[in-house]
Amino acid sequence: MRQLKGRRVLLVHGTDDERTDPDLSYRLAERAKKVNRDVCRFEVHSDGHGLRQHRDEVLALTADFVRGSLFGHPYARPLADALAAPPPLGLRMPLAYGFGTTLGH
């Protein structure tokens, strides 16, 4: 976890992932959050390993995270809330259907 200290971390996991247990990414996020408050994790309900069903939302979330983390842009409200929320809330944030369609980016 030392390599994550001082870095902003975003994890995204499909709840129907049959290749990698979603609970493993939750436990990783939980451990990372103990050494670094800038960790959040989103759950993509009804999606699998490739996150294909909600591809647009995942791409919008990722783009928003990169713009905020690398370029200092304000995060979208769900992302800001997830980063600020204590576990387990900030590590089990649902990725809303349509995320990114109203961000105006």
Please give the backbone phi and psi of residue 36, each rounded to the nearest 5 degrees, phi first: -150, 115
pTM to 2 decimals? 0.91
More confident residue, 61 or 102: 61
Distance, CA of 34 to CA of 30 (rounded, Å): 7
Contact 83/75 with Cβ under 8 angstroms?
yes
For 70, the token pair is 């690398």
pLDDT digits (tens, 9 = 90+) for 42-87: 999 989 899 998 999 999 999 999 999 999 999 999 999 999 999 9
